[in-house]
Copies of this chain bind each other. A is one copy, B any other.
């Protein structure tokens, strides 16, 4: 019994340590971390693991430590679209965990992924007790909304080839180099769904970008003329200074 208690205590400490690494929780105090750890479960999922289905109820808030999570929505005719692919230290399902509405999207790991699951009912119960947690989640939701507004503008203002160009530029680690080689974080099927186009349109978009110095080599893409691609793709970019 004492041994179980020890394991449980050391597991809670390990969870607290992982929670402390997450930027969105940076302003929490020790008490808040300990209480969150009490309703958290750290899980290591294999690639292609379905965390929850579209339409699921009572989902946990999912914090991604490593790996990738695809947030996808399936239409009645079977067409699948990907709203977003979450990268660490991102998160998913905060909104349904707060509202208790059925989830609009399903969640699936893209590669092996380490995820902290925070129980939804527990989270809602903590909010009135921990103003610093409520403030942190208000900011996290605001940033989720901010990113989705940018995606809506991207979809409304850019062509598929421009969206692809913009996406590739965002993957470039050094945005000042005239040329750069990047690695696609996932396959072209998922990339097409994320950009909101069919796979054949993605191929056409890559063909369009070839004239602008974009070469594909398997999962790697060489951007030979970054300024030219930027001119082409980022015609509707964030205002100067807002880009990362």
- Interface size on A, as a range, is 35 or more
Partner pick for A155 among B145, B196, B236, CB 8 A cutoff = B196
Are B142 and A239 touching (Cβ within 8 A)?
no
Partner pick for A145 among B148, B196, B236, B242, CB 8 A cutoff = B148
Looking at the complex, which of A8-16, A42-50, A76-84 is the stretch in contact with chain B? A76-84
How many copies of the chain does the oligomer comprise? Answer: 2
Q: In this assembly, does A135 line the interface, its C-beta being within 8 Å of a C-beta of chain B?
A: yes
| Per-residue contact bits, chain A 139-156, to B (CB 8 Å; 1 contact, 0 not) | 101111110111111011
- In the A-B complex, the 4 residue pairs with the smallest Cβ-Cβ separation, listed nearest first, are A156-B196, A75-B236, A95-B142, A134-B134
CB-CB under 8 A from A23, the residues of chain B are none
- Which A residues, 96 to 120, have Cβ-Cβ distances below 8 Å to chain B? 96, 98-99, 101-102, 104-105
Bound state CA distance, A237 and B148, in angstroms?
A: 20
CB-CB under 8 A from A144, the residues of chain B are 145
Partner pick for A77 among B105, B132, B196, B235, CB 8 A cutoff = B235
**Given pairs A134-B134, A155-B155, 10 additional interface contacts (CB within 8 A):** A76-B236, A79-B236, A81-B157, A95-B145, A104-B149, A128-B132, A137-B138, A144-B145, A151-B152, A156-B193
Are B139 and A98 touching (Cβ within 8 A)?
yes
